[in-house]
Amino acid sequence: LPSRPLPCRARTPRPSLSTPTPTEPTTNSTRPPSPPKPSPSTKPSKSPPTIQRTALLDSLSYEADLLQTWEESDQRGFDYFLEKLRRSFSNLSFADGRASRGGRDWTFSPARTPPLLPIQRRPLTPLDALKPALHALTRREVPIAEIEMPRGGSALGFITGVLGGDLQTLAGGPLFLLLAKYCQKNGPVYTLAFGPKSFLIVSDPCMARHVLQSRPDAYSKGVLEEILKPIMGNGLIPADPATWKVRRRAIVPGFHRRWLGRMVSLFSGAAAELLGSVDAAAAAGSPLEMEERFCSVSLDIIGRAVFNYDFGSVRAESPVVKAVYRILREAEHRSTSFIPYWDLPYASRWMEGQVQFRKDMSLLDGILASMINGAVATRSEASVEELEERDEADDPSLLRFLIDMRGEDVDSEQMRDDLMTMLIAGHETTAAVLTWTLFELARGDVRMMEDVQHEVRTVLAGKAAPDYDDIVNMPRLRQSLTESLRLYPEPPILIRRALKDDSLPGGGSGIPSVKVLRGTDIFISTYPNEVASDFAFLPFGGGSRKCIGDQFAMMEAAVLMSMLLKKFDFEFAGSPDDVGMRTGATIHTMNGLNLIPHEGNFRTRSKEDGGGGWWDMKREEYERKRAAGGDMDVGGREEKWKEKLRERVGGVLPDLFVDSDTD
């Protein structure tokens, strides 16, 4: 047998292939050094630098060379066949001198993943799933929500919803509104039991804090984890606790302050492209679908920020962009379906949607692979401090940072999972915030829009784009964005599953404490939150799994919105009622946000000057009311849409932006 280490055992420590030191094992050593045995009481310890130093493995030469040696060798012993078996089980294949795994073409960078803390999770058995459902039906302290047929819904749809465990059909509309309605009736903690499913719905901030701040072995992401694994692999959102711990520690430094500062110019560059299309629509007086525009611009931003790839979706829709959207839709569809249709035998070969999904994933994987391979090939190792000081004008991406970070080598597949996770997590969330903020500003009291525009125009006077300090100086704008996150939480529900029996502390719920059995599925839904309390407002989650992109997202939204409102005002192409709402992982409009952009302050401009004549209208209304001696309130908020929603959720909808002239 060739005296070489076995190739491509990704995720295990490897000996150096270059720059060997006298104490280091070389490529000729027969066995890679075994990783230190993890102990539950010790933190992952770094091996001495001499053993840890590894160089990047060029699979093209290494694997092909090895293969050739084997093919030429006539000593095909037991080890040879063992290695063949291992490769086939790990889905590794070699063709034309290239290594690939599961059909993906990766250049395997060697993994130097530190030993993982053994965070034990006992797999749940069917009994674990059954026990909480029985417990929920028998316990007294937590009410069981009486499931009502949605207004206007069909009886058949309702029955299939109950039997199939499909919450969306059951809700007959956005699920978070249904949960809010039941919360109004049953209090901040209740059980939603239907068909084969039972969920504990938690809206109490103390209980939410307890769950979110618990140890990683106490709660998992449950259903979400199962749904997202096939897409995000072991990326941060669905990652098992051991991998999560290592990757979170590695990724967070990438979001350092200097990088965020640098991102501001990336945001303003992308905003300038967006403004191009808004300008064209304003000149033509035609409506523009702003939700689609926000999705495109945030996709372009996340592509460049995370792996320096230009999707160019603001300019044109390419097959890659279409594939990304289809993947996102599929992820959302999975998250709202409680029957794992994608796991049906060979679903990716015969189910039309799944066949397409497989093709889309391999297209996107191909792009990620070439980005990772490119970054690996041009790697220049540095410490975190050095990387923070670097001014990577050509490639300021997170990928560059993560690949170059000394001491944090990771195999290419983990890197792919990390990038895919950030692409999905950081794209439509930000787009949704922008969509609903603009919706509220455009349909609300004009004085609210004027306030924000006044602030933006004052701070950005004589400037093409804001910088970091400008964003700090626009509190009105930031508050508008935050308020829209309160009204339209993205994602609207946080999902967890208890991995151990636990007890939730009684909080404002008036219930002393709530027993939670292992296997219980929990939905944390703090909407509508009107309590000024810690963990009542969770736009970015809380505890250790809190969003890592919160500042990035808020800055991105602030830059885009300020540049938009500096120049434009918006008029609804139809009525605000036409917009509608539907939910998936985030909250979308039902029919798009179709707005006609106008330069300046359109709505308050008098009709004679080609504006909306809002003030003229209000003045007339006021005069009329005064003459009739009636109600003088001319606040002018358009209530129709809100009333509709209020009707649906039973009056619990909070007052949207409070009167703008005082608050």
Cβ of residue 310: shortest distance to ligand HEM, in angstroms?
17
Cβ of residue 176: shortest distance to ligand HEM, in angstroms?
13
From 504, 547, 596, 652, residue interacting with ligand HEM (rule: CB under 6 A)? 547
- Strands 502-505 and 568-572 turn out to be unpaired
Interface with ligand HEM, residue 412, by CB under 6 A: no
Cβ of residue 104: shortest distance to ligand HEM, in angstroms?
22
- Using the minimum distance from each CB to ligand HEM, give the nearer residue, 142 or 553: 553
Residues 6+ apart with CB under 8 A from 626: 632
User: What order of strands is seen across the sheet that includes strand 288-289?
Assistant: 288-289, 594-599, 568-572
Residues 6+ apart with CB under 8 A from 576: 439, 442, 443, 638, 640, 641
Per CB under 6 A, the segment of 10-18, 486-494, 627-635, 647-655 that binds ligand HEM is 486-494
Interface with ligand HEM in residues 226-255 (CB under 6 A): 236-237, 248
From 35, 38, 195, 541, residue interacting with ligand HEM (rule: CB under 6 A)? 541
Interface with ligand HEM, residue 425, by CB under 6 A: yes
* CA gyration radius, the chain: 28
Helix extents (H) in 252-337: 257-284, 290-307, 319-336
Interface with ligand HEM, residue 199, by CB under 6 A: no
Cβ of residue 486: shortest distance to ligand HEM, in angstroms?
11
Beta strands in 449-579, from DSSP E residues, in sequence order: 494-498, 502-505, 513-516, 521-524, 568-572
- Using the minimum distance from each CB to ligand HEM, give the nearer residue, 51 or 536: 536
From 169, 429, 437, 562, residue interacting with ligand HEM (rule: CB under 6 A)? 429
Interface with ligand HEM, residue 494, by CB under 6 A: yes
Binding mask 500-539 for ligand HEM (x = CB under 6 A): ---------------------------------------x
Per CB under 6 A, the segment of 5-13, 275-283, 309-317, 487-495 that binds ligand HEM is 487-495
Which two three-digit tokens encode residue 304? 């460049």
Secondary structure (H, E, C), 34-66: CCCCCCCCCCCCCCCHHHHCCCCCCHHHHHHHH
Decide if 142 contacts 517 (C-beta within 8 A). no
Decide if 144 contacts 193 (C-beta within 8 A). yes
Interface with ligand HEM, residue 430, by CB under 6 A: yes
Amino acid 618 reads K
Per CB under 6 A, the segment of 93-101, 118-126, 340-348, 542-550 that binds ligand HEM is 542-550
Cβ of residue 118: shortest distance to ligand HEM, in angstroms?
19
Binding mask 585-624 for ligand HEM (x = CB under 6 A): ----------------------------------------
Q: What is the torsion angle, in degrees rounded to the nearest 10, for the CA atoms of residue 169, residue 170, residue 176 and residue 177? A: 110
DSSP labels, 69-99:
HHHH-S---HHHHHHHHHHHHTTEEEETTEE
Give the separation between CA 490 and CA 539, rounded to whole angstroms: 7
DSSP labels, 567-634:
HEEEEESS-GGGT--EESSSEE-SS--EEEEEES-TTTS-GGGTS--HHHHHHHHHHHHHHHT-----
Per CB under 6 A, the segment of 25-33, 198-206, 315-323, 541-549 that binds ligand HEM is 541-549
- Using the minimum distance from each CB to ligand HEM, give the nearer residue, 244 or 570: 244
* Residue 637 vs residues 246, 450, 485: alpha-carbon distances, Å: 50, 14, 20
Interface with ligand HEM, residue 552, by CB under 6 A: yes
Per CB under 6 A, the segment of 126-134, 184-192, 339-347, 424-432 that binds ligand HEM is 424-432
Cβ of residue 479: shortest distance to ligand HEM, in angstroms?
15
Which two three-digit tokens encode residue 144? 């069981």
Of all residues in the shown chain, the one whose CB is closest to ligand HEM is 549
Interface with ligand HEM, residue 422, by CB under 6 A: yes
Q: What is the distance of C-alpha 416 from the center of its chain? A: 16
Q: How many residues does the chain have?
A: 663
Helix (H, G, I), strand (E, B) or coil at 513: strand
- Using the minimum distance from each CB to ligand HEM, give the nearer residue, 291 or 569: 291
* Residue 284 vs residues 274, 278, 439: alpha-carbon distances, Å: 16, 10, 21
Per CB under 6 A, the segment of 184-192, 454-462, 543-551, 560-568 that binds ligand HEM is 543-551
Decide if 281 contacts 287 (C-beta within 8 A). yes
Residues 6+ apart with CB under 8 A from 124: 497, 499, 518, 519
Residue keyed to tokens 């078996």: 85
From 405, 438, 548, 656, residue interacting with ligand HEM (rule: CB under 6 A)? 548
Cβ of residue 581: shortest distance to ligand HEM, in angstroms?
16
- Using the minimum distance from each CB to ligand HEM, give the nearer residue, 298 or 373: 298
Cβ of residue 263: shortest distance to ligand HEM, in angstroms?
10
Give the separation between CA 258 and CA 261, rounded to whole angstroms: 5
Per CB under 6 A, the segment of 60-68, 126-134, 268-276, 417-425 that binds ligand HEM is 417-425
Per CB under 6 A, the segment of 96-104, 183-191, 363-371, 549-557 that binds ligand HEM is 549-557
Interface with ligand HEM in residues 106-145 (CB under 6 A): none
Interface with ligand HEM, residue 540, by CB under 6 A: yes
Would you tell me which residues interact with ligand HEM (CB under 6 A)? 221, 236-237, 248, 421-422, 425-426, 429-430, 433, 490-491, 494, 539-541, 545, 547-549, 552-553
